[in-house]
Amino acid sequence: MKIRKKTLLKFNELYLKFNGRVVLDRISGSVCYGDRIGLVGLNGSGKTSLLKLISGMSTPNFGSVISNVRVTYISSLDLNLLLCQKKVFEYIKEQYAEWWDVLLKYKSLFNSVLDENQKISTLSGGEIMKLNLSRAFVSEPRLVLLDEPTNHLDSKSVKDLETLLAKGNVPYILVSHNHRFLNRVVKVIWELEKGKINIFGGNYDLYQLQKKNLAEKIHKDIEVLNKKIKQKAMIASKKLSQARSLHQKVSSRNPYARKLAGKKSRTAKILADKVQKETNLLNEAKKALLKKSLFMDINESKNTVINQHSLLLKISNGNLVLPNKKTLLSSVNFRLYYGDRVAILGKNGTGKTMFVKQLSYDQRPRIVGDVIYGEKYNTSYVDQKYDLVDLSLSVIDNMKSNYPDMTYQQIRTKLGNVGFHDLLSISEVAKDLSGGELARLAFAMVTGSNIELLILDEPTNNLDDDTINVIKKALIDYEGSLVVVSHDSSFLDAVGVTRHFEIINRKLCEIY
């Protein structure tokens, strides 16, 4: 006999409209005891919106959420926290009075220690995320919603979180673009697509297989439909031709013949209209499939002096010292040549971001000494916070501001390549974009200029699979220098990283 699991939460007919766009279109679902759900979908498909509705943090235009338990929501990293001047214990006390218990939980979960008097702004993104996870799990939650929890976490911390979820009995809904992580911790996939929710049994790989089979079926169905419509169009054309011919032949004095000719003409016209409607539907289906394809190219160096293996930068026995005199790295020896593909690895808080920021040509202010440059080179840097995006401007105005010499059509093409296809999407203000949409805009903004060095700081955070695959392809085709900070080993392998450096005990060590 099948045992029914206890229902913890139900949502019915949730409808959400934002900035004139339908985000969620009358979706329903439930969460039961023991559920381990992965929530996936393209950037901007409404994943975070759904979690906020379920948690009670926001309300739908209509629909209802009924919960029998307290719901704990762990949001993706708020980048404004990287500027927060509160001390660690003050930040914890905002939601949990016994702040010391949270720090003990942090130590037990991640085998590391935080200073309660340290300012939040001095923590790395990974340390803040681990603090938020510790604060949530210390209170023994009954149902957890996790929004991109692996973003900014180093590989060890991701494994620690995996252990926490695998060994615990707390049901959860998890948003993540980390496939390996999803494969290990979820049993069901909820997919948000065009405002609707589709449910697939199994982990992420099984979901991908089911989606592939479904896509192949859709393509075959479209091919079959295309052939049928062509056949119908030929028949409709033939019937119209016959009806016109009959009209010309019949005598105006023969009412029966005129009536028959008129009937044949109307029948042929109805058939032609039906064929036209089916053709329009087919074209819409083809357009929808085409819209899913993204494209990105990187404008490479036009500097004729710099060529393959030209020295860009050399650091000899340098020290990375912060303005407060704290030493992050000592005795750094590092060379970067044109065409190099370098990964910078290390635990959260070891100074990876601070180091890669120093690699731009003639960086000011410079906090690492003993640097020698080769020929002048152009650098594009995409950081974790997407600082180059002006949140007060629209998508298209950000591009115009960054590339004043680009034509309107060139800008529309560049934005369309990364998924901003229509007037509504390019007019949206940047502060209203999802994390993934913000990332796509940032990539569009940096890939339009000629560059010799591209620096990416956690590039796969917030991005859906389609966008990550597009970035991979663009990077494979790019011939300039690439420096990547990432904990995503599959991404590093895919883009051809050949040199790996890890920060260990304040030393930059090359891993062979």
Query: Binning pLDDT at 50, 70 and 90, where does residue 38 land?
Result: very high
| pLDDT value for 451 | 83
What is the percent of the chain where pLDDT is above 90?
A: 32
* 224: Cα separation from own chain's centroid: 34
pLDDT mean over 361-385: 78
pTM of the model: 0.62
Q: Name the residue among 509, 468, 474, 473 with its Cα closest to residue 344.
A: 509
How many C-beta atoms surround the C-beta of residue 226 within 10 A? Answer: 15
CATH topology of domain 7-202: Rossmann fold (3.40.50)
pLDDT mean over 161-177: 90
* Superfamily in which the 311-511 domain is placed by CATH: P-loop containing nucleotide triphosphate hydrolases (3.40.50.300)
Q: How far apart are the C-alpha atoms of 350 and 355, rounded to whole Å? A: 10
Summarised one tens digit per residue, pLDDT across range 449-460 is 788 899 999 888
Q: How far apart are the C-alpha atoms of 171 and 149, rounded to whole Å? A: 15
pLDDT mean over 182-200: 90
pLDDT mean over 326-340: 88
pLDDT mean over 375-404: 88
Query: Binning pLDDT at 50, 70 and 90, where does residue 291 land?
Result: very low
Residue 2 in this model has a pLDDT that exceeds 50: no
pLDDT mean over 488-492: 87
Mean pLDDT lowest for which of 45-54, 57-66, 238-247, 363-372? Answer: 238-247
Measured at the CA of 511, the angle between CA 510 and CA 512, to 5 degrees, comes to: 115
Mean pLDDT in the chain? 82
274/35: higher pLDDT: 35
Task: Give the β-pairing of 327-337 and 311-321.
Answer: antiparallel
Query: Binning pLDDT at 50, 70 and 90, where does residue 345 land?
Result: very high
Q: How far apart are the C-alpha atoms of 447 and 198, rounded to whole Å? A: 34
Residue 502 in this model has a pLDDT that exceeds 80: yes
pLDDT mean over 46-68: 93
Q: How far apart are the C-alpha atoms of 435 and 391, rounded to whole Å? A: 12
Q: How far apart are the C-alpha atoms of 10 and 33, rounded to whole Å? A: 12
Summarised one tens digit per residue, pLDDT across range 458-473 is 888 877 777 788 888 8
